[in-house]
Chain A
Amino acid sequence: MSAPSPKDIRAVADSAGVPVDAEVAARIANSIGPAFEGFAPIAGTLPFDLEPASFLLAQAVKVSR
């Protein structure tokens, strides 16, 4: 997964209903790019039957050392 380009960002922001101009899109790309890159090793690797609610299960696990 690569970081989005300013052009990608303009398209996504437009579809979100909050259009941004080219300058703002370039600034967002620069700012949020590292987060995309940081998550890249995980993106696209998760198993099919994994839901966000698995977090609550992980929170509830009793741990004793």
Chain B
Amino acid sequence: MSSEPALMSLAAIAKAIAARQVSSHEATRSCLHRIAQWQPKLNAFMAIEAESALKAADEADAALAKGENRGALHGVPLAHKDMYYDAGHVVTCGSLIRRDFVATSTSTALQRLKDAGSIRLGSLQMAEFAYGPTGHNYHHGAVHNPWKFGSVTGGSSSGSGSAVAARLTFAALGSDTGGSIRMPAHFCGVTGLKVSYGRISRAGAMPLSQSLDTVGPLARTAEDCALLLGLMAGADAEDPTASTLPVPDYVAATTASLKGLKIGVPMAFYVDDLDADVAKVLDDTIAVLKREGADIVKVELPDQRQLTAACQLVLAVEAAAFHKRWLIERPQDYGPQVLMRLQNGLAIPAVLYLEVMRWRGPALAAHVAATSGVDAVLAPVAPVAAPTIAESDVGNSPNAEAVIQRLTRFTRPINYLGLPSLSIPSGFNAGGLPIGMQLIGRSFDEATLLTIGAAFQRATDFHERVPPAA
């Protein structure tokens, strides 16, 4: 048992609280202690609710003492990206426009975690309206990477990546529309799961692009992601796009062996133009997976540049449509970069948008055909480790746009195809910054990704490393 409960994994703390080896109060106090240390440097939290969190923790402890256990997350303190509606709470969406927006209902994903007994620590920073891949936020300030202050966290789930990496919360919800879970997971050295489109209800989650948005966790381990996915996945009357497929036992999947699994490594695109450190980590990851029993083969994927373009077009149009009223009435209340991204959607004719949407089925079918011989595809999340906040600041750095385009190359195709992808901490660069690899799966086959991720984590310790004290 760790002397600092906040350093435990989600699965471990949940078991320890249930067994009354650690109290919810101790776990919450431990997180709050670390938050007090780290928040001034990271800016990872939007709101810290210490008093109400400790009160909820004491109630959870009292319930357990009476033999009442609410569920798999009983008494576990969590904080989430500030875009999940939570009735009675302000949900800023990282914006000025929604600075005072009080939700009147609770998002399905969040409610399912509450029903399992989790308690609220506060809310986490994010890119304004989840429309930014770095962690910059014009209104609320950039979030810093706990491995190196002054480096980006990745976005848009910037606070989620930073807070999980620094052990300020045991896990956090993020959202992934173009890479917004996988990039913070990669840059901050945590495990992030972008689920299949439709696997988790989007009801009550701030929309960005209804065809691409996915809800998912950032956590310390694949097992933690499995635990959260199992609690959140499944049909929802509030979201007709939520799949009615059965929810497998994802935690059980994390105990399986890699023997007999075949993992593809792309022959092009995802292996092109990689920084040397990222290329080495890819090679090292392949070696570990081989050693653990997986067969590694080369795969030739369809043209990923077309998928990237398709993702950009869909995202631009749908985001502009959601924001149209505010683009007319309150353009001055957006940060300049987010305003520019939203305006991009105004340039795309309806016929082109529909053409891009019509191609989505054939594009996915082509991917399925190209990967029919493998259980998953392994690729870097990004060709580089975290750039600095300064060099990726579009307003102040002349090369920032090129830096940002490079960051999102490997994530957008997966959103357009609606596929699941698990980002796992896989190594570090020479400067001590984390590097993640993504495992891309078949539609609704998150279980296989979690099997591979957990096996990799049993063989390595990258996910257990903690950033040096603030």
Interface membership of B347, Cβ < 8 A: yes
How far is B349's CA from A47's CA once the two chains are assembled, in angstroms?
19
* Contacts A/B (CB < 8 Å), 28 sampled: A1-B352, A9-B346, A13-B347, A18-B327, A18-B346, A24-B343, A31-B340, A32-B316, A32-B344, A32-B348, A35-B313, A37-B309, A38-B309, A38-B310, A39-B313, A41-B303, A46-B355, A52-B354, A52-B357, A52-B360, A55-B360, A56-B361, A59-B198, A59-B418, A59-B443, A59-B444, A63-B442, A65-B374
Interface membership of B12, Cβ < 8 A: no
A43 touches B352 (CB 8 A): yes
B343 touches A28 (CB 8 A): yes
Chain A stretch 16-65: residues in CB contact (< 8 A) with chain B: 16-18, 20, 24-25, 27-29, 31-32, 34-39, 41-44, 46, 50-61, 63, 65
Minimum CB–CB distance for B334 against chain A, Å? 13
Chain B stretch 355-376: residues in CB contact (< 8 A) with chain A: 355-362, 364-365, 368, 372-375
How far is B347's CA from A60's CA once the two chains are assembled, in angstroms?
33
A28 touches B347 (CB 8 A): yes
Given contacts A35-B312, A35-B316, A59-B418, contact A42 B347 (CB under 8 A): no
Given contacts A12-B349, A55-B418, contact A39 B306 (CB under 8 A): yes
Contacts of A1 in B (CB 8 A): 352
Chain A interface bracket (under 10, 10 to 19, 20 to 34, 35 or more): 35 or more
Minimum CB–CB distance for A58 against chain B, Å? 4
Interface membership of B197, Cβ < 8 A: yes
How far is B303's CA from A37's CA once the two chains are assembled, in angstroms?
13
Q: Mark A1-19, 1 if CB is under 8 A from B, else 0.
A: 1001000110011001110
Contacts of B372 in A (CB 8 A): 63, 65
Interface membership of B290, Cβ < 8 A: no
Interface membership of B324, Cβ < 8 A: yes
Q: Mark B410-438, 1 if CB is under 8 A from A, else 0.
A: 00000000100000000000000000000
Contacts of A12 in B (CB 8 A): 346-349
How far is B344's CA from A17's CA once the two chains are assembled, in angstroms?
14
Minimum CB–CB distance for A51 against chain B, Å? 7
Chain B stretch 274-328: residues in CB contact (< 8 A) with chain A: 303, 305-306, 308-310, 312-313, 316, 320, 324, 327-328
Minimum CB–CB distance for B404 against chain A, Å? 11
B346 touches A42 (CB 8 A): no
Residues in chain B within 8 A of chain A (CB atoms): 196-198, 262, 303, 305-306, 308-310, 312-313, 316, 320, 324, 327-328, 340, 343-344, 346-349, 352, 354-362, 364-365, 368, 372-375, 401, 418, 442-444
How far is B365's CA from A27's CA once the two chains are assembled, in angstroms?
35
Main secondary structure of the interface of B (DSSP, over half): helix
How far is B322's CA from A18's CA once the two chains are assembled, in angstroms?
13
Which of B303, B313, B359, B442 has most A Cβ within 10 Å? B359
Select which of A34, A42, A59 is within 8 A of B364 by beta carbon: A59
Q: Which 8 A-B pairs have the closest CB atoms?
A: A38-B309, A54-B361, A58-B364, A13-B346, A52-B357, A35-B312, A55-B360, A9-B347
A17 touches B309 (CB 8 A): no
Given contacts A18-B327, A55-B361, A59-B364, contact A42 B355 (CB under 8 A): yes
Contacts of A46 in B (CB 8 A): 355, 358-359, 362
Contacts of A34 in B (CB 8 A): 309
B312 touches A20 (CB 8 A): no
How far is B344's CA from A13's CA once the two chains are assembled, in angstroms?
9
B362 touches A38 (CB 8 A): no
How far is B353's CA from A43's CA once the two chains are assembled, in angstroms?
10
Contacts of A9 in B (CB 8 A): 346-347
A57 touches B361 (CB 8 A): yes
A65 touches B373 (CB 8 A): yes
A16 touches B346 (CB 8 A): yes
Contacts of B356 in A (CB 8 A): 39, 42
Given contacts A18-B327, A32-B348, contact A59 B196 (CB under 8 A): yes
Contacts of A20 in B (CB 8 A): 343, 346
Given contacts A39-B309, A59-B418, A59-B443, contact A28 B361 (CB under 8 A): no
